Amino acid sequence: MKVIRGRKSIVGCIVELTEEGYTTQLSLEKSLQVVDHAPDGFQWGYNGSGPAQLSAAILYEVTSNEDLARQYYQIFKHDQVAQWGETFEINEHQVLAWLSTVGALQVNVVDTAKIEFEAFNQLYEKAFQRWKRASGAGQGHQVLEAIPPCENAISLTQDWVEKYKPHIQELRPFTSKAFEWMPMIEEIRKKLRQFRILLSYRQADRPLLETADKIREEVEELLENHCYLLEV
Cβ of 145: how many Cβ atoms within 10 Å? 16
Quick check: 204 pLDDT over 50? no
113-123 confidence digits (pLDDT tens): 887 888 778 87
- 167 to each of 34, 74, 108, 117, 195, how far by Cα in Å? 36, 35, 12, 15, 26
Spacing of C-alpha 174 from chain mean position: 25
Q: Within a 10 A sphere around the Cβ of 123, how many other Cβ atoms?
A: 20
Residues 102, 77 contacting (CB under 8 angstroms): no
- Cα 31 to the center of its chain, rounded Å: 24
State whether residue 231 is helix, strand or coil. Answer: helix
C-alpha–C-alpha distance, residues 198 and 128, integer Å? 8
Whether 118 contacts 28, CB under 8 Å? no
Residue 221 has pLDDT above 80, yes or no: no
Which DSSP state fits 44? -
What is the distance between the alpha carbons of residues 75 and 9, in angstroms, rounded to a whole number? 26
Q: What pTM was estimated for this model as a whole?
A: 0.54
Q: pLDDT tens for residues 144-156? A: 565 566 667 777 7
Here the contacts of 129-138 (C-beta below 8 Å, separation 24 or greater) are 131/198
Residues in CB range of 197: below 8 A, 6 or more apart = none
Distance from C-alpha of 62 to C-alpha of 112, rounded to nearest angstrom: 15
Residue-wise pLDDT for 89-101, tens only, equals 999 888 888 887 7
